[in-house]
Structure 1
Amino acid sequence: MALSVSAGKKKDFVDYSYELTYVKDVPASTVGFTVFKVWSYGKKKELLTKDICMRNAVHGLLFKGLAANYSGKQGNVPPLCPEGYQAHKEYFDRFFNSGEYRQYIQLTSRGAQSAGDVIKGKKEWQVGLLVQVNLKELRKRMEKDGIIEGARSIFSR
């Protein structure tokens, strides 16, 4: 998924090219957190920083979700905002450009990468980073800000 985002008069073209995957044999994290690997793709390895990978991880949980791990250890995480970025573009431009997303994500292993986490393909680099996202608090934030409906509002109809 590639998406160009522009903020104000200055045009920042940000490439959201990534994939989220569960990782085998990763212990469960703190309650409310989801642990997974984010794979970010780009033409220049030096542009695929830890910040870009962390942004992609939060972006992925908001708009793509995380497919179930078929070993039975982790379940499917549907996207928090299935209507997409454009439905609340100004809000998400601010959320990502200001770095607010960082309060919901942590690097595991202090951001150390394993062998095989930096791969040079024919046309692009692939960089993997193991992260944990506080999905519970991210969902609460989206509900509080009126981006998604909470469970109570769904049942009170």
Structure 2
Amino acid sequence: MKKKFIILALAALTLSLGSCATKNNFGYELNCLGVGSEGSNLIKVYSYAKNYNKAVNQAKHDAVHGILFKGIVGGNGCANQPAIVKPQELAANQAFFDKFFKNGEYLRFVNISNDGSVDGSDRLRVGNNYKIGVVVSVQKDALRKYLEQAGVIKRLDAGLF
């Protein structure tokens, strides 16, 4: 019985993680550029899409998605930052996250950090797609607080008192 439960739980987790992935075959890449204003991270996101404008818009999605589910690898003065959402929290709240991304609620927490222009070296043609490197600022602390208030994740100080 216990073995059957573990297999079902792993299958559910695999399916839920797959549905949260980006909509292209390439995924995305995140590079930490530093800590922005209070409670935010400055990130360069490399996103893939059929055209330039779609890639820039996809970068906003990918930045929030990465902070939530992948975490950020340290470098450029940044420490490693684990994903905000644990796999079990994602599995338990899949409908919430589907709605969060589909309705564009994530856009409240991300901004293009420059004037929207992209350096020529950050525009690459990859097959039929473009790989665009965009610098964005993600309000990580506000995002965490929003998820805590929604009851999706536990507070950092939960269980300490």
Length-normalised TM-score, structure 1: 0.79
- Number of aligned residues: 142
Tell me whether 1:112 sits opposite 2:117 in the alignment. yes
| Pairing partner for 2:69 from 36, 41, 63 | 63
Does the CA-based 8 Å contact 2:118-2:133 persist in structure 1? yes
Shift of 1:147: 1.2
Amino acid in structure 2 at the alignment position of 1:22:
C
Among the aligned pairs, what percent are the same residue? 27
Map residues 30-109 of structure 1 onto 2, 5 A cutoff.
30-42=37-49, 44-46=50-52, 48-69=54-75, 71=76, 73-83=77-87, 85-109=90-114
The alignment status of 1:22 with 2:27, answered yes or no, reads: no
Runs of at least 5 residues in structure 1 that lack an aligned partner in the other structure: 6-12
Alignment pair present for 1:130 and 2:135: yes
- AA of the residue aligned to 1:76: N
- State the shift of 1:122 in Å: 4.5
Q: CA RMSD in A?
A: 2.4
Tell me which structure has the larger Cα radius of gyration: 2
Amino acid at match of 1:93: D
Between the aligned partners of 1:114 and 1:56, the Cα distance in structure 2 is 19
Post-superposition offset of 1:125: 2.8
Distance in 2 separating the partners of 1:86 and 1:128:
30
Runs (5+) with no aligned partner, structure 2: 1-16
Measured after TM superposition, the shift of residue 51 of structure 1 is: 2.0
**Given residue 132 of structure 2, which amino acid in structure 1 is its aligned partner?**
V
Change (3 A) 1:134 1:120: same
